[in-house]
Amino acid sequence: MNETTNSAAAQGAAGAATTLPTAFVPVEVEGELYERWVKNGYFTADAASDKEPFTIVIPPPNVTGSLHVGHALNQSIQDAIIRRKRMQGFEALYLPGMDHAGIATQNAVERELAKEGLSRHDLGREAFVRKVWDWKAEYGGKILGQQRRLGISVDWSRERFTMDEGLSKAVQTIFKKLYEDGLIYRAERIINWCPRCLTALSDIEVDHYDEPGELVSIRYGDGEDSIVVATSRAETMLGDTAVAVHPDDERYRHLIGKEVALPLTDRRIPIVADEHVDPEFGTGAVKVTPAHDPNDFEIGRRHNLPMPSILDEHANITVHGPFLGMDRFEARPAVVAALREDGRVVGQKQLLRPVGHCSRCETVVEPRLSMQWWVKVEPLAKAAGDAVRDGRVQIHPKEMEPRYFAWVDNMHDWTISRQLWWGHRIPIWYGPDGEVVCVGPDEEPPAGAGWQQDSDVLDTWFSSGLWPFSTLGWPERTADLAKFYPTSVLHTGYDIIFFWVARMMMFGLYAMDGKQPFDKVVLSGLVRDQFGKKMSKSKGNGVDPLEWMDKFGSDAVRFGLLRGANPGSDQAVAEDWIAGARNFATKIWNATRFAMMNGAYVPAELPSADRLTVEDRWILSRLNEVVAEVDALYEDFQFAKAMEALYHFAWDEVCDWYIELSKLRLPIGVAPDDPDAQTARAVLGHVLDVMLRLLHPAVPYVTETLWTALTGRESVVIAEWPAADLARTDKAAEAVIEAVQEVVTEVRRFRTDQGVKDAQRVVARLTLTDPKLAGQEPAIRLLNRLTAPEDGFSATATLAATGAKVELDTSGTIDVAAERKRLDKGLAAARKEVEQANAKLGNADFLAKAPDAVVDKIRKRLADAESDIARLGAQLDALPSA
């Protein structure tokens, strides 16, 4: 590029800068930019492309959901990954969609009906389901618009819903396949029952909290044949069918095989021996209620005990007598009172015990014997564990693997039927003579009178477990499935590793002939408040990311969250940190606008080496090192470290140092057409171009606005990701600028301590003794606003920096008494450091036991402190008399 072309490019950049507003106002540009990206098809993946695929399927939010801070974090991470891969030249697919959220959605619609005095039973099943679809069309999915605000680059042309036609076909297909392979069965077992939602729950849908309770000891029977049991749920004794003791417990061996009277009833129940009983716990005897406790159920099966249910679906007592119709919590003290009146209570004590709660409505869950559909998970879970053990799937961070194995290696069979109307109805039909038929998606249900379909629907996690391949068209062998499966990265919170990750692993490996659903699982932690506490509505410490977007912009929310995103670790967040991220975007805006107003442009190629100044060579060296560093951190999913590297490079090195140094060749308001100025403009434009591309995956809106203005090109979304050119590494230039920075920083510290205003010029004489600083006096003067001395100069203060002496005439600008006080304070601290270091180094026991690295560190501290004493003493001597 010749000088004339360079000049024209510089003038064009300066002209473009004048069209940039003085401030970046996110709300004025975000919506328009996003719609332009979508309209231009930047996010639309092409299955026919010969590019290497890279796929992320978004964890589908609930159709009832609204964007919360956890969504904002996870989707910011996913979008940063996919935007970078798109820029790297991959055929990048980021696939969006929503989950039908069976229980949550049905509850939402039932609440609406209740306002009209209606229940779903008043409408009937078909009409209620139509009502839910209507609700979904009107109110559901508002989170999709919120995702657009966040700027996530999903392919909206491929949006899916777990109840859409294609995914419904996938659900029916895999159900039938599992059923025919003997991996789905129907059985009566103990399940977790929610008396509020009136449905079964899987183990992972139950949250356990310690709650206060009472352990009551009750005597069953009388005389020598009596036995004492302890329980925290006295009401369930109405359903006892045995008392169990350990077969080797000498205290009760004479009672095994006998019967004992069950208090408050006219029944007698056997005393059985079972190795499940712990003779060291309580009295060593346990009541057995097979229909209301999972352990008791297993004892009941081993001993062929009857299993009567004593609670209905609302957890009300069904046993005839004085407790009939009572709620379980009302019945508990009533039963204890009746037992006490009968002389059966022999002891009571308070205790804390874990109590299960429905994860959706927080109602206390009731163990209940129920006929349900189950998945036999053992072979599926083993395959899911093997895929991680043999390296087909990698979990990041690796420290999360034991958590994963602890689940899949000990998984119980999964109850998949739910007593709801909204969801995928179980494709089982029952005939009039007891026939059971599983109907596939392309099959007609049995004809004839008396045939009825199972009334239950499938667990929501059953359909979302198919997400990585059902969304790509399975069971059809589509082009999307061939191109984009297995998906590349699954990113989600570690809190749903059991809910969702394990289920996708089981189903993906099973349905896709052993092909894993994703190559890597990246787990992030929870977002907590600024004090590290878990956010909750009840605590009032939750945050709404939409409010932050309104206030600070989406880029600030994204960058603020990404900057704290360490794999597998919880992170704290506060509004101040998002405000800081907004300030970062403002800094980039102002710096780029200033550079463009002074003619910075992106050259076709960089100026030749002989035209580059030391600061040019330094910033180009650092630029390429940062590109390599950020690349490595992205590949290792170290988002916080990547953002930190970009933050300090952009703010500190580019804005605060290089742009300031460039003013030596680009005086403010002047655009001289000379080679040095052109070199500065070209290097500055190149650095900003690369920096903005590096930042784009994290802060897409501000970088798009600035990059297109700077380069005149279509969009940074489809720009090429920077590649490190480590041949430009120049450690010598870095050493020079580091030496300059050290001198400048020392002078700045002095000015700040003395309250000298930033704009105030100070006369100073520089003596540069470090060879690296040769020729750097103009830079040091520029960056410190130091004026050259004239004849008769007299210093009032002297600073000794490494490789330089700075003598300043601060008369009229400095408070001598304050400066003396500052230096005295520094001297005192340095002398104390010397004293402490000498004490340790003079301690023979310490030297014998301490590691060499620790001893070396203390010796260095001693040397540094002695150097500080000499430097500060010289500065004190140079001060004028007070």
Residue ranges at the known binding site for ATP: 537
* Cα distance between residue 545 and residue 65, in whole Å: 14
Which residue has tokens 């015990």?
Answer: 353
**Residue 563 phi, psi dihedral angles, 5° rounding:** -70, -15
215 token code pair:
């352990």
- Confirm if 358 and 191 have CB atoms less than 8 A apart: no
- Confirm if 342 and 264 have CB atoms less than 8 A apart: yes
Quick check: helix, strand or coil at residue 750? helix
* Cα distance between residue 684 and residue 678, in whole Å: 10
Which residue has tokens 């030297």?
Answer: 847
Burial of 294 (0-12, 13-18, 19+ CB in 10 A): middle
Radius of gyration of the chain (CA): 36
400 token code pair:
């999360």
609 token code pair:
């080496």
Distances (CA, A) of 28 to 117, 122, 227, 550, 846: 45, 49, 77, 11, 64
Distances (CA, A) of 633 to 75, 245, 627: 18, 58, 10
* Cα distance between residue 134 and residue 109, in whole Å: 10
- Confirm if 510 and 516 have CB atoms less than 8 A apart: no
* Cα distance between residue 454 and residue 436, in whole Å: 10
* Cα distance between residue 283 and residue 229, in whole Å: 6
Write out the binding residues: 537
Q: Which of 705, 698, 867 is nearest to 81 (CA)?
A: 698
* Cα distance between residue 113 and residue 108, in whole Å: 9
* Cα distance between residue 691 and residue 709, in whole Å: 14
* Cα distance between residue 342 and residue 338, in whole Å: 6
- Confirm if 743 and 804 have CB atoms less than 8 A apart: yes
DSSP 520: E
DSSP 223: G
Query: Could you tell me which residues are beta bridge partners of residue 229?
Result: 218
